[in-house]
Copies of this chain bind each other. A is one copy, B any other.
Amino acid sequence: MLKDKDEQRTSLASLGEFGLIDHLTANFKITQSSTIKGIGDDAAVLDFKSKKVVVSTDLLVEGVHFDLSYMPLKHLGYKAVVVNVSDIYAMNATATQVTVSIAVSNRFPLEALEELYAGIQLAAKIYNVDVVGGDTTSSTKGLLISVTAIGEIEEEKITYRNGAKENDLLVVSGDIGGAFLGLKVLQREKSVFEVNPNNQPDLDMYSYIIERQLKPEARKDIPVLLNDLDVKPTAMIDISDGLSSEIMHLCKQSEVGCNLYEDKIPLDPQVISTCEEFNLDSTMVALSGGEDYELLFTISQEDFPKIKANPNLTVIGHMTQASEGIHLITRANTKIPLKAQGWNAMDADSE
């Protein structure tokens, strides 16, 4: 988990006139036909022709969103891109470009930034986006990453949060709760390490949930899949804050209610076993955990046959009249009001 400190370190100040961003992005390639001009001028130039443009932005702050004692810089760079393109996919769009700005204190050597950018470059390759701009500046403390993601979409496919209708089915991709539990495991190992630095933790049994935390993936495949299945979601959002608060966003903006079925929430076996170990309720973890970057969307009931056989998608509830409210139907078949426990007032993200 710890970085090798013996590598050669080049101070950022020693770079002199050489442009830091130019150096870090020198081998980034332009692959998108919509990118006319990337890094190197006052602004990037893009061409979306008749398509609409979607834009989303996020800040990641050291000590708030990540802890470098267990988050390798390459993973951090990767994750910074992932959390932003996830917002683009949540519009049912294709991500095409990102800009990446970093503020960094002098304690970071050039090699650390190269590692960060290696993660950014890997994510750009995997998510097929061009890095077309950025700004690198010094900070008085810590590391901060600001990413803006840009995507394209045909007008008729744009999926907002506000289109869910009564009786629509609520669908989630993948499984949830893993990223939160991965963080719990990493925090526990950090505490152990602080007491006994020679302890070599065996984290194999947590490999999936740790990867969900350190190297989350955005669901680039879901807009493609839905298009292939000829399903247009009526509303969509990505799960960054936790299932519960995302459901509440969809309901509020669509002016509908919702019944969510506890027994339908997709959980990985590692989530269930780790919840038992930590004495946590797996439903609470799924509802409030956050950072899963799965997509949550609603579809018309008539589209159900198109998605029902797909292992990537799980129907977890249905929308109701707004007056019926938003409820969790428990395994014991009791109906309890859902609360937005995933919410954090100081981390409000809205585009």
Contacts and interface: CB of A to CB of B under 8 A. Distances in A.
A91 B43 contact: yes
Interface stretch (A55-63, A262-270, A283-291): A55-63
A319 interface: no
A72 to B, nearest CB: 20
Interface in A59-108: 59, 61-65, 87-88, 90-91, 93, 97, 99, 101-103
A142 B162 CA distance: 36
Contacts of A58: 101, 135
Given A42-B237, A345-B17, A144 B139 contact: yes
A146 B15 CA distance: 24
A140 to B, nearest CB: 4
Q: How large is the interface on A (under 10, 10 to 19, 20 to 34, 35 or more residues)?
A: 35 or more
Interface string A120-157: 00000000000011111111111010101111010100
A16 B345 contact: yes
A116 interface: no
A294 interface: no
A350 interface: yes
A151 B43 CA distance: 9
A198 to B, nearest CB: 30
A276 interface: no
A54 B133 CA distance: 11
Contact of A55 (B61, B62, B87, B150): B150
B351 A42 contact: yes
A63 B140 contact: yes
A37 interface: yes
Chain B CB within 10 A, most for which of A87, A144, A149: A144
Contacts of A57: 99, 101, 133-135, 146, 148
A97 B91 CA distance: 19
Contact of A46 (B44, B55, B62, B160): B55
Contact of A133 (B16, B144, B348, B350): B350
A253 to B, nearest CB: 7
A13 B344 CA distance: 9
A347 B61 contact: no
Contacts of A19: 345, 348, 350
26 contacts: A17-B343, A18-B345, A40-B253, A42-B90, A43-B93, A45-B52, A46-B53, A46-B54, A48-B53, A55-B97, A55-B133, A57-B99, A57-B101, A57-B135, A58-B135, A59-B101, A59-B135, A59-B137, A64-B103, A64-B140, A99-B148, A103-B144, A134-B351, A135-B348, A136-B346, A148-B148
Interface string A194-230: 0000000000000000000000000000000000000
Contact of A137 (B39, B161, B347): B347
A50 interface: yes
A162 B93 CA distance: 33
Contacts of A112: none
A158 interface: yes
A340 interface: yes
A346 B20 contact: yes
A12 B64 CA distance: 15
